[in-house]
Amino acid sequence: MNVVIRKAKLEDLKTIQDLNHALFLSDADKDKKLNHDWPYLETGKEYFKGAIEGKTGVCFVAEKDNEIVGYLAGSIKFDSSIYRQVRRSELENMFVTEDCRGQGIGEKLAKQFIDWSKENDVTHTFVSAYWLNERAIKFYKRLGFEPLALELEARL
């Protein structure tokens, strides 16, 4: 298996949008309010373009046998508050195709993001995962992420 992790290019945008759409579909049972069209809307397109171009963060892709099989998008969070004195990055979204899971590709993407974060003087990184997504939580814990907060939502 030949897997290459690299920074995404603008010509990868459509594939990244498709992978993000697949992520939304896979999370549909965990959040019924997800807008599955978001990756293709102007806001989604601009989000990924900004990450790819390095304007708002970073976007990496994983290529296996010259085919993109996963991606990761993240950014540095510039928090003006002083109650937590850390410079943080956020692993905002990541997806690896089902047929390529369990091969270390997600771990390689995450480690590339962590390296990028360190190069940008980040001291902590965080990620959010759906409460019911035990597979993702186990994956992130294996990478050294620890529970910090629990986000709760009420319907009004």
Print burial letters for 63-99: b (CB count within 10 Å at least 16), e (below 16): bbeeebbbbbbbbbbeeeeeeeeebbbbbbbbbbeee
User: Residue 149: its pLDDT value, please?
Assistant: 87
Q: For residue 90, what are the domain limits?
A: 3-142
Report the predicted TM-score, pTM, of the whole model to 2 decimal places: 0.92
Beta strand 124-127 pairing with 58-64 = unpaired
CA dihedral 70, 29, 43, 48 (to 10 degrees): -10
What average pLDDT values come out for the chain (156 residues) when binned by 10 residues?
A: 93 98 94 93 98 96 97 87 78 97 96 97 93 94 92 88
Q: Indicate the residue type of 156.
A: L
Could you tell me which residues are beta bridge partners of residue 73? 59, 93
Question: In this structure, is residue 150 part of a structural domain?
Answer: no
Question: In this structure, is residue 123 part of a structural domain?
Answer: yes
Overall domain count for the chain: 1
Question: In this structure, is residue 151 part of a structural domain?
Answer: no
User: Residue 46: its pLDDT value, please?
Assistant: 97
Question: In this structure, is residue 85 part of a structural domain?
Answer: yes
Question: In this structure, is residue 155 part of a structural domain?
Answer: no
Question: In this structure, is residue 153 part of a structural domain?
Answer: no
